Every structure is written in C-alpha cells, then in structure tokens.
C-alpha cells in the first residue's frame, strides 16, 4: 500500500505502485507511472508522461519530465522513462522528449547529484555518477559506468563512452571515447581512466590492449579513416573492440588529447613484444 502525505496532489489518472512513499507537497500529474518501492521526498514534481521504475529515491525539489527548453517545443511533447534503483538528489531536473513520439531515457542504478540537469532526448546508461551541477544538453548519450564530475557542460548531440571519466568544469563539444579520462581544466583527454577501470575489475592484459588502441587513436598520426579501419581489423575482440563501435558512429569528432612538453608515449608495461606491436599498429588480440 502506498503512503501519501495529505498535502501531496496526486492526479486520479496517475498509477502508483505498492510500497511507494510520497512526501509533503509533491505533485504527480496525469498519466504518470510510479512503480513499487519508490520514495519521493517533499516538493517533488513528476510531470505527465513520466514512467518511474522500481525502488527509486527522489530527493527534495526535483522535477521529473519537465517541458523541454527548446523553441520548437509544441503543445504535445514527449515522455521520460527512468529505470530502477536510481538515487536522484535535490533539485535535479530531467526533461521529457521534444516531439510527441520522443523519449528521454535514464537507466538503472545511477547516482545523480544535486542540481544536475538532463535535457530532452538524452539517453543515460546504467551505474553512472553525475555529480553536482552537471549540465547535459539535448540529445546527449552517456554510456554505462561513466563518471561526470561537477559543473561539466555537455554540448547537444555529444556522446560519452562507457567507463569514461570527465573532470570537473570540463566543457565538452565533441564525443568522449570510452575508457578515457578528460581533464577538467583543459577539457582534453589525458589517458585512460585507470582508477575507474581498476575498480571495475580490469586486469593487465586488458589494460595492454586498451593502451595499444589508445595509442592508435591519439598517437599514431594516422588519418581518421585509417584509425577507424585499424581499430576494426586489429581489436575485434576484448574491451578495445568498443573503440571501433563508438568511434565509427561519431558525427562530431572526439575530444583531443593534451600533450605537454616532453611527454612521452604511453608505456605498455614491460613486454617488448607488446610495445613493438603497438608501435607498428599491428597489435594482435
């Protein structure tokens, strides 16, 4: 049975699941679906067309399914779908799709911190961390287990790959490849997300493969078409195969690498055969 505070305003056409808790002064509009086990703190607004999965915790002042901030937003806008077991902190705003058939989608098991904004038609994966004041424009895609630090601004139609880490206050106007770290100060790529990958169980053989692929992307001097072809034919298995899948679909290009004076190439451990293969762009998986 749901627990609904007497000051909450719940439209009769909303669908409220079992064991849902709705706090003081919440507003739940017509057509909303809130699945079992969700907890809405005070002053949460859930707009028409929002589907909220199971066991989500939504903190004070959050607005889910708000109208897109777009001049082309008509009388009929799209919808918002949120998965399961997300923690959505205070004053987060997540807007619905722009057109009546469009969706904004947020996956499951994400931590979305205070005052983050996810605009219309975004597709957010699973097990993400979006920290305070992240600003995500429309049509942005973020892969699983990415980490986006505070006050990062992401241009519309950009993509962030799986396991990527973006430093605080970075401004992204191109795609961020999977597995890499973007420095917040320069907004440039500075290598692999070593800490995040270690925490997620990646081991030395996988690091060797990822570093070899990274060198092809950023250090080989190949033309973009040659980079894509080399990744396709060289890394067709293992985690580095995700580089080809991601980069071959890029329409905006990728964030560039920061290379300081005297900085050497990525060291591929102490295996001469691995180093030689990567240097010649013929690394065999």
* Active centre residues (catalytic): 120-121, 138
> Residue 3's Cα: distance from chain center in Å?
32
Q: What pairs with residue 9 in β-bridges?
A: 27
DSSP for 26-78, please give it: -EE-TT-EE-TT-EE-TT-EE-TTEEE-TT-EE-TT-EEEEPP--TT--SS--
Residue that has been written with the tokens 């329409």 in this structure: 251
Structure tokens at 265: 């190439």
CA distances from 74 to 3, 53, 64, 181, 182 (A): 35, 27, 18, 38, 36
Radius of gyration of the chain (CA): 21
Please choose, from the candidates 47, 37, 77, 40, the residue with its C-alpha nearest in 3D space to the C-alpha of residue 61.
40
CA distances from 137 to 154, 156, 158 (A): 6, 5, 9
State the distance between the two ends of the chain, measured CA to CA, in whole angstroms.
54
DSSP for 122-172, please give it: -EE-SS-EE-TT-EE-TT-EE-TT-EE-TT-EE-TT-EE-TT-EE-TT-EE
Residue 179, SS3 per DSSP:
coil
Residue 8, class by beta-carbon neighbours within 10 Å (0-12 exposed, 13-18 middle, 19+ buried)?
A: middle
Rounded distance, CA 177 to CA 158, Å? 11
């Amino acid at each position: 049975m749901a627990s609904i505070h007497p000051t909450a305003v719940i439209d009769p056409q909303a669908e409220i699941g079992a064991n849902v808790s709705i706090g003081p002064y919440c507003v739940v509009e017509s057509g909303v679906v809130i699945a079992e086990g969700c907890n809405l703190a005070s002053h949460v607004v859930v707009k028409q067309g929002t589907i909220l999965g199971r066991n989500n915790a939504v903190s004070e002042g959050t607005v889910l399914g708000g109208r897109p901030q777009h001049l082309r937003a008509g009388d009929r806008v799209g919808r918002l779908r949120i998965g399961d077991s997300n923690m959505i902190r205070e004053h987060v705003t997540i807007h619905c799709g722009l057109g009546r058939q469009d969706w904004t989608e947020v996956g499951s098991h994400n931590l979305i911190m205070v005052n983050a904004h996810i605009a219309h038609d975004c597709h957010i994966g699973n097990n993400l961390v979006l920290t305070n004041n992240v600003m995500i424009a429309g049509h942005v895609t973020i892969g699983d287990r990415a980490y986006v630090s505070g006050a990062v601004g992401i241009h519309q139609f950009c993509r962030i790959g799986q396991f990527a880490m973006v430093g605080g206050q970075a401004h992204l106007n191109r795609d961020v490849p999977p597995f890499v770290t973007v420095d917040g100060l320069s907004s440039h790529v500075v290598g692999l997300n070593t800490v995040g990958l270690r925490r997620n169980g990646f081991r030395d053989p996988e690091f060797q493969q990822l570093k070899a692929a990274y060198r092809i992307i950023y250090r080989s001097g190949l033309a973009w078409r040659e980079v894509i072809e080399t990744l396709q034919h060289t890394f067709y298995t293992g985690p580095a195969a995700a580089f080809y899948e991601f980069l071959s679909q890029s329409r905006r290009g990728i964030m560039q690498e920061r290379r300081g004076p005297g900085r050497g190439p990525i060291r591929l451990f102490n295996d001469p055969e691995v180093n030689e293969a990567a240097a010649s762009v013929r690394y065999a998986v």
